[in-house]
Amino acid sequence: MKIRLEDIPENGLDLKLPNSSLGHFNPDILSERDDEISFGPELVGMLHMARDQDAILLSGNVKAVARLKCSRCLKEYLTDVETELDLVLKVTGSSLDEVAELEDNEIPISGPEIDLGQILSQELILELPMKPLCDTHCPGLCPGCGQLKGSEQCKCGAQDEIDPRWADLLKIKDKIS
């Protein structure tokens, strides 16, 4: 999903996604978390691109379906993710100093092509939870057998995981029986 700088007119450009003229969104996202995350198959949204001296202003919003891996039970699940964009794509040289001086919403580009797929997916990744959960009540995996805790496959019982508030009651129960 790429756009050439020269294809952005002086008076700006509105882009509706998905957009066949940009080519396909490539869900192979390059990030340090990409082994756990993928998006796809399409990004949906409205973008506006405007020229501003040595920069391109990119605004709008974009939505996608993300495939995440639950941090407790390791199951993959799908979730909607959406982000508002207010970015400055700055044409920079290759010097690290220039890149280091960029503000939070400034992204370095070197032209003549902008990889929109990469920029948008990086922005979407920022909206995703650091510890993804398939469900807020996900019990996680049993340390004994590796199956989902409390599931039929897990026969370990929860003996070692008793809520401390119940522990005293169970002691009494043991005495009685």
Residue 68 interacts with Zn ion (CB under 5 A)?
A: no
User: 3-class DSSP state for residue 146?
Assistant: coil
Question: Would you say 76 or 86 has its CB closer to Zn ion?
Answer: 76
Could you tell me the smallest distance in angstroms from the CB atom of residue 156 to Zn ion? 3
Question: Which residue stretch of 5-13, 82-90, 94-102, 137-145 sits at the interface with Zn ion (rule: CB under 5 A)?
Answer: 137-145
Our measurement of the distance from residue 156's CA atom to the centroid of its chain's CA atoms, rounded to an integer in Å, reads 35
User: 3-class DSSP state for residue 130?
Assistant: coil
Residue 67 interacts with Zn ion (CB under 5 A)?
A: no
How many residues line the site for Zn ion (CB under 5 A)?
Answer: 10
Cβ atoms of 93 and 102 closer than 8 Å: no
Residue 72 interacts with Zn ion (CB under 5 A)?
A: yes
> Terminal CA-to-CA distance of the chain, rounded, Å?
69
Distance CA(29)–CA(70), nearest Å, equals: 19
CA atoms within a 13 Å half-sphere pointing along the CA-CB vector of 84: 1
Footprint (CB under 5 A) of Zn ion, residues 139-168: 142, 144-145, 154, 156
Could you tell me the smallest distance in angstroms from the CB atom of residue 134 to Zn ion? 4
Q: Which residues bind Zn ion (CB under 5 A)?
A: 70, 72-73, 134, 138, 142, 144-145, 154, 156
